[in-house]
Amino acid sequence: MNISMKSRYAVRALTELARIEQSQSGKPVRLGDIAERRGMPLQFLEQVFASLRRAGIVRSRRGASGGYALARSADEITVLEVVAALDGVPSPAECTQGRCDQVDGCGASSVWIEAQQALEQVLGGTTIGDLLRREDAQRAVAPMYQI
């Protein structure tokens, strides 16, 4: 299973959400703001955040001055969780999901399983908080293209 645009948008959007929450605490953040800041299609983000809410990663408030907020600290949200919420657990091959189409002893499955474990370790070991700090570090060096 691939890591789709949805997951990548989600990670970027959550990082931006964490950034905004850092400065103005308490108030929910409008999706429109996030979409504009990162140049992402708003209505697509709506879909993405619906999934994130169902997965318990963000909380929402409707109506005027509503918006989204992280359900937990940015350091307690792993990239793996986010990807799993949108694309499912990333697996390079279906073998790894338990049912292999090949009944006989297929030596290949072990590689795909190992690959998946390596992937989970990397994605599960990185949090939205980590990414926020990495961005800050990058911006401290490179010029800022943000308006």
Partner DNA sequence: CGTAATCTTGACCGGAATTATCGATAATCG
Partner DNA sequence: CGATTATCGATAATTCCGGTCAAGATTACG
Summarize as ranges the residues that interact with DNA (CB under 7 A): 1-2, 4-6, 9, 28-32, 41, 43-44, 46-47, 49-50, 53, 60-68, 87
Residue 77 binds which entry of DNA, its own copies, none, CB below 5-8 Å type-dependent: none
Distance (Å, whole) CA 27 – CA 90 = 33
Among 15, 31, 35, 57, binds its own copies (CB under 8 A): 15
Residue 30 binds which entry of DNA, its own copies, none, CB below 5-8 Å type-dependent: DNA
* Tokens read off for 42: 């708003």
Residue 111 binds which entry of its own copies, DNA, none, CB below 5-8 Å type-dependent: its own copies
Q: Does 49 bind its own copies (CB under 8 A)?
A: no
* Tokens read off for 45: 């983000």
63 Rama class: left (phi>0) / alpha (psi -120 to 50) / beta: left
To 5 degrees, how large is the angle CA 57–CA 16–CA 133? 95
Other Cβ atoms closer than 10 A to 30: 15
Q: Does 50 bind its own copies (CB under 8 A)?
A: no
Give least dist CB 66 to its own copies, A: 26
Q: How many residues bind its own copies (CB under 8 A)?
A: 44
Other Cβ atoms closer than 10 A to 18: 21
